[in-house]
Structure 1
Amino acid sequence: MEEKSIMTRSGKTTSKKRKSNPTAPSLVNVEPQMVPSPKVFDAIPLAVISVDWQGQIQYMNKAAKSMLGEPDGLRSLEEWPQRFGLYLDDGLIPYPAEKLPLVRALRGEVIPEAEEIILRKEGDTKGLWISMSAETLWDENGNIDGAIALLRDINYRKEIELSREKHAKRTELLYRFSRSVAEAGNDLNAIMNLVVKFTAEAIGDLSVIALLNAAGDRMKVDGFHDMNSTGQALLRKLFVPGFEYDHSQTLGGSVVRSGEPVLIHSIPAEQLQAVTLPALREYMDVVGMESILIVPLKGRSGVVGIIIMARHGGNRPFNVEDQSFLTDIAYRAALAIENSRLFESLHAEITERLSAKQALAVSEERFRSIFEYVTVGIKVLNLEGRILQTNYAFQSMIGYNEDELVGNYFYRFLHPQDIQRANALFQDVKILGTSAFRFEHRAIHKDGSIVWVKTIFTVIRKGNEDQTPVFIVGIVENVTEQKRIEAEMSELNSRLQSSMELERLRLAQELHDSPMQSLYGAIYRIEELRGTVNPELKEALAEVKQQIQGVLQDLRATAKELRPPTIFNFGLENAIRSHANDVAEKHPNLSIRLSLAHDRQVLPEKVRLALFRIFQQSLANVIRHAKATEVHVRFSFDAEEAHLEIVDNGKGFDVPVNWIDLVRRGHYGLAGAAERANALGGVFKVQSKPGNSTTIQVIIPWKDSLDEG
Structure 2
Amino acid sequence: MQNQKPRAPLSTSRDRLGEFLDSPEERMELLVRIMDALPVSITYVNPRQCYVFSNKTCEKWFGRCLDDIRGRHVSDVLGPELYEEARFGVESALAGKAVSYERSVPFRDGALQRIATSFIPHKDARGELRGFFTLEVDVTYLNECKQTEEKLQTSHQQLLDIIEFLPDATFVIDRERRVIAWNRAIETMTGLRKSEILGRGDFAYAVPFYGRPRPILIDLVMNDRIDLEECYDFIERKGNTVFGEVLVPNAYEGKGAYLWGTASPLFDVKGDIIGAIQSIRDITDRKRARDALLESERQLRNLSAQLLRAHEEERKRIARELHDSTGQSLAALKFYVDNALNMKERGKPDEMANCLDRMVPLIRNAIEEARRIYMGLRPSILDDLGIIATIQWYCREVQKTCPKTNILERIDVQEDKIPEDIKIVIFRLVQESLNNIIKYGKAERVTISLVSTSSAIELIVQDNGVGFDLDAYLHTENRNRGLGLAGMRERMELSGGTFSIQSIIGEGTTIRAVWPVSVRECDARPCRASSYEPP
Pairwise same-fold verdict (TM > 0.5):
no
- Please report the TM-score for the alignment, with normalisation by the length of structure 1: 0.28
Q: Which has the larger radius of gyration?
A: 2
The higher-RCO structure (CA 8 Å, 6+ apart) is 2
